[in-house]
Amino acid sequence: MSTLERSPNVETGPGARPRAGLVVGLALLVIGLVVVCFFSITLGARGVGPATILKAFLDFDPNSASETVIREIRVPRTLIGIFAGAALGLSGAILQGVTRNPLADPGIMGINAGAAAFIVFGIMVLGAQSVGLYVWLAFAGAGFATVVVYGIASFGREGATPIKLALAGAAVTAVLTSITSAIIMTHVDALNELRFWQVGSLAGRYFPVLAQTAPFIVVGIVLALGTGRALNGLALGDDLAVALGQRVRLTRVMMFVVVAVLCGAATAACGPIVFVGLVVPHVARMLCGPDYRWILPYSMLLTPMALLIADIIGRVVVSPGELQVGVVLGVVGAPAFIALVRYRNLAEL
């Protein structure tokens, strides 16, 4: 009996890390995220110092351009980065756990493309105008794409293997893209608006977007952080998970709902962003071992850091213009993806 009670503290299995180290690591990540946020607010076409930031919030002067920039642009942008990053990282980690597939990612699986296609369809065909409606369309699209891609890929004996999932994702993305293009080609003015959003960017949409998407993301994050134990069960295989008393089918459905909410909200906030949800959970796994109760919070902190750093790079490299964060992540993420395919045994999860 006493051994059973102690069992949560006893680390077992390969790759498990001592608990104290994991907590310290988490604290370091929080500090790192704060530092990145600070740079995200200060760096840019108009450099501002820490004093100006403090002044912007404690003693706001509407006539000061720097303070207005901070309040109206930099801070909301950074917040969007944090929320969207956390959402993408968590959904990537959950997808990899649920599908037991190292290449599962909201971008590769076409979930972001689904959300994007539904938003375009809503704007162009149904005449949706409010950001509030975008979010619901994005949820619907993300959910639709998740169900279709995973459904298609899991036909057959071996279930959803990495290659089937990737191909189904690529195929569904292609279908959705061709529908999106058909709509865009017939509405010329729409092209001008959508081509910016389609790349994936933190720029241009601030407080209204934040207000509409943040509540959903917060709910999604809370739900997602609670799934660690269930994911650990699923990692043992369906049979063992059932034997341990899990209701596997119900768990899967719940997790896909959480993923759809997180991905949909993130896509509504900053457009389809690929690779970050794929690579960061692997980094998290390298840092903290195979326990999803730790992988989830690590991914949640690491992904916003990656997203904000990519955003800062995009702003600094081609200043005074900017590279969208989706482009930076595409360029940085593709080699990481390729390395993953080349050097990891893909049956590992």
Residue among 110 and 220 whose Cβ is closer to another protein: 110
Q: Among 93-101, 125-133, 167-175, 206-214, which window interacts with another protein (CB under 8 A)? A: 167-175
- In three-state secondary structure terms, 260 is helix
If one asks whether residue 121 binds another protein (CB under 8 A), the answer comes out as: no
Q: Which of 23, 28, 65, 182 binds another protein (CB under 8 A)?
A: 182
Contact call for residue 195 and another protein (CB under 8 A)? yes
Please choose, out of 4-12, 184-192, 258-266, 292-300, the segment that lies near another protein by the rule CB under 8 A: 184-192
Q: Is 283 in the site for another protein (CB under 8 A)?
A: no
Instruction: Report yes or no: 314 and 325 within 8 Å, Cβ to Cβ.
Output: yes
Site for another protein in 73-112 (CB under 8 A): 103, 107-108
State yes or no: residue 163 binds another protein (CB under 8 A). Answer: yes
State the Cα–Cα distance between residues 98 and 93, nearest whole angstrom: 9
Residues numbered 138 to 157 that lie near another protein (CB under 8 A) are 148, 152-157
Least distance between another protein and beta carbon 328 (Å): 9
Count residues contacting another protein (CB under 8 A)? 54
Nearer to another protein, 74 or 164 (CB): 164
Give the amino acid at 214.
A
Question: How many whole angstroms separate alpha carbon 249 and alpha carbon 69?
Answer: 49
Least separation in angstroms between residue 31's CB and another protein is 31
What distance in Å separates the CA atoms of residue 89 and residue 220, rounded to the nearest whole number? 12
The answer to whether 105 and 111 have CB atoms below 8 angstroms apart is no
- Site residues for another protein, window 196-255 (CB under 8 A)? 196, 198-200
* Residue whose C-alpha is closest to residue 228's, from 154, 288, 150, 145: 288
Q: Give the C-alpha separation, 284 to 292, whole Å.
A: 10
Q: Is 188 in the site for another protein (CB under 8 A)?
A: yes
Nearest to 281 by CA among 143, 88, 15: 88
> Under 8 Å CB-to-CB from 291, ≥6 apart: which residues?
16, 228, 232
Site residues (CB under 8 A) for another protein, limited to 303-332: 321, 323-324, 326-327, 329-331
**Which pair of tokens denotes residue 102?**
């190292």
Question: Is residue 275 near another protein by the rule CB under 8 A?
Answer: yes
Alpha-carbon distance of 338 to 151, in angstroms, equals 25
- Residue 24 structure tokens: 């310290």
Residues binding another protein (CB under 8 A): 103, 107-108, 148, 152-158, 161-164, 166-168, 170-171, 174-175, 177-179, 181-182, 184-186, 188, 191-192, 195-196, 198-200, 274-275, 321, 323-324, 326-327, 329-331, 333-334, 337-338, 341-342
